[in-house]
Structure 1
Amino acid sequence: MVLFAVMGLYTIGYGFSLSFAEWNGFTPNWTWVGLDNYADLLWRDPVHAPAVREAATNTLWVVIAVPVLTIAISFPLAVLLNSVKRFSGVLRSVYFLPHVTAGVAVYFSWQYILEPNGAINTLLGALGLGSLEQPQGWLGNPDTALGTLVVVMVWSAVPVAVLLYLAALQSVDPAVLEAAQIDGAGWWRTNSAVVWPLVRTTTLVVGLLELRDALQGFQVFLVMTNGGPGNHTNVLGLQTYTYAFQSELRPTLGLASALGWLLFLAALLIALLSHRATRKAA
């Protein structure tokens, strides 16, 4: 209880109080500013408000794309893995590798692959698709940088989603599938009209998990692009980190705390909506 009070309640209260203050992290006293930090982030400050709006737009694209793509890839893949009889354990282990190897080292590996002379451009050239190569690298081109990071996030998210779908598929009553086949439903019809509705609760869980990670995650953006090129991959989580540790402007720890609380409120709203949707689905 003492550990929870110190590391949990005190930290939360401290951070919430800091969101109403201006502090550089070193001086013994804060400068109380009230709601100025929130006003500066949302509309008032000519420097911070546009940066936050741009980061919010990028975050919105990530929040939409990552869950949708993860679900669109994971469910068919889980169906295929569930139908494999031989070497099923080996195949599931192979598809789960991206999750257990995810981390800073993997992001550096992706950077190497996506360089101007990296494996992606080399492969495209070898296949005669040189027109698709990116001379600046896939992370150096403003038009492809954010989409490329979304692909990396989906690559990391698919294994857990596949595992959840596999668990849901194995709980489906075989008699239901046999009845669909007897009625003349093919593979596509069975999975789209019978299996997919039966695993909708799992779909909501996967969507909620990926919404949370896409909204609050920033590690991949920090390591691979640091928000570049030209803030085209800057997201709210990274913007919060920048205010806290990298800003060269006026003391911005209070701004970082305020933006963190705005992110928390957004995550809480998404969680409440998802919980309500899950209850309806159940």
Structure 2
Amino acid sequence: MSTTSVELPARRLREQPPRRAVAARWRRRLVGWAFVAPAVALFLLMGAYTIASGFLLSFAKWNGFTPSWRWVGLGNYADLLYADPSLAADLRRAVGNTAQIMVAVPLLTVAVSLPLAVMLNSITRLRAVLRSVYFLPYVTSGIAVYYAWRYVLAPDGAINLLLGSLGLGSLRQPQGFLGNPDTALPTLIVILVWSSVPVATLLYLSGLQAIDRGIVEAAHIDGAGSWHVMRRIIWPLLRPMTVAIALLGVRDALHGFQIFLIMTNGGPGGHTDVLGLMAYRLAFMKGLAPSLGHASALGWLLFAGAVLLTLANARLLRRVQ
């Protein structure tokens, strides 16, 4: 037998880790899994199980009280889309209101937050103070702010009193801005924009501060005015930020319902009803006959819409970058 053939098994034995090292490695792994196991179990219980049961519930009828479900297949989806006239009408109205919010809130947010960010970026003194002031609406408790807005917009609220004192009584709303079908949804859109401007302003401000000042100064030296610099240089560089801000507004329009529940509950006459509020009402606000199956089906329709919008946003981001 050659010397090489004898040395190969010995070398393999030397390269193999000792048994104690292998045992210690497995003990470390088990300890790590022991620490992670509670979080994994909680996710499986509260996350995976809830998602799976909600998906199955969208194919069944259940009011939350009976011990068993009644399977209906795609019946819940059909009821929402066309089979049930009352549900289908409510869904179409909620889709229309949600679409208006999805378009108006991102556009107005960008139109307000970008000039604010440019102004803050041009200020050298008190920038931190002003930034904190603009960010204050976002950190304030939402429910408390919504109740404050209800008081301000009431028939005897501050806005009607202010309009009367300024001699603009024709603009007053005797039933309140939230009680008039013509002003209820625009008023809520304004409040949504007011609450989303702080984050958008900070995002734009961070984007402006990341732009190389040499590029802007070179454009000014070449004779470009402030408007042309904004349009030709700053705005194209901020397009990815704009897409992200628009996506946040669309997300809030699809899934947000807290402001609509507290301030109008979908009224007056369903003029402020949105998809998120409709799903909540189907599940929890129908007394002793909630329709959890319809609520789950509507939730999954919202999820499908959110996925499509996310894919569209990802494709748009790839184009603008």
The alpha-carbon deviation at position 7 of structure 1 amounts to 1.4
Report the 3-state secondary structure (helix = DSSP H, G, I; strand = E; otherwise coil) of the residue aligned with 2:293. helix
- C-alpha contact 1:22 1:251 (8 A) present in aligned 2: no
What residue in structure 1 maps to residue 306 of structure 2? 267
Which of 169, 175, 200 is the matching residue for 2:208? 169
What residue in structure 1 maps to residue 67 of structure 2? 28
- Residues 79-138 of structure 1 show CA distances to partners (whole Å, capped at 9, x for unaligned) of 001101111110000000000004101000000000111111111122222111111110
The answer for unaligned runs of 5 or more in structure 1 is: none
Task: Confirm or deny that 1:232 pairs with 2:271.
Answer: yes
Percent identity, aligned pairs only?
61
Structure 2 CA distance, aligned partners of 1:124 and 1:278? 44
Report the 3-state secondary structure (helix = DSSP H, G, I; strand = E; otherwise coil) of the residue aligned with 1:140. coil
The within-5 A match list for 1:26-105 is 26-105=65-144
The within-5 A match list for 1:1-282 is 1-248=40-287, 250-282=289-321
The alpha-carbon deviation at position 267 of structure 1 amounts to 0.7
The alpha-carbon deviation at position 186 of structure 1 amounts to 2.0
- C-alpha contact 2:152 2:158 (8 A) present in aligned 1: yes
Amino acid at match of 2:123: V
- C-alpha contact 2:59 2:293 (8 A) present in aligned 1: yes
Structure 2 CA distance, aligned partners of 1:49 and 1:248? 20
- C-alpha contact 1:102 1:156 (8 A) present in aligned 2: no
Give the aligned CA root-mean-square deviation in angstroms.
Answer: 1.1
**Structure of larger gyration radius:** 2
Structure 1 CA distance, aligned partners of 2:164 and 2:227? 35
Structure 1 CA distance, aligned partners of 2:109 and 2:201? 9
- Residues 12-59 of structure 1 show CA distances to partners (whole Å, capped at 9, x for unaligned) of 000000000000101110011110000000011011110111111111
- Residues 154-183 of structure 1 show CA distances to partners (whole Å, capped at 9, x for unaligned) of 100000001111110000000110011112
The answer for unaligned runs of 5 or more in structure 2 is: 1-39
Structure 2 CA distance, aligned partners of 1:204 and 1:257? 30
Report the 3-state secondary structure (helix = DSSP H, G, I; strand = E; otherwise coil) of the residue aligned with 1:47. helix
Q: Which has the higher contact order (CA 8 A, sep 6+)?
A: 1
Amino acid at match of 2:178: L
The alpha-carbon deviation at position 188 of structure 1 amounts to 2.2
Amino acid at match of 2:171: L
Structure 2 CA distance, aligned partners of 1:138 and 1:53? 24
- C-alpha contact 1:113 1:120 (8 A) present in aligned 2: yes
Structure 2 CA distance, aligned partners of 1:202 and 1:56? 27
Structure 1 CA distance, aligned partners of 2:221 and 2:165? 48
Report the 3-state secondary structure (helix = DSSP H, G, I; strand = E; otherwise coil) of the residue aligned with 2:85. coil
Structure 2 CA distance, aligned partners of 1:124 and 1:270? 41
The alpha-carbon deviation at position 192 of structure 1 amounts to 2.2
- C-alpha contact 1:227 1:234 (8 A) present in aligned 2: yes
The alpha-carbon deviation at position 139 of structure 1 amounts to 0.2
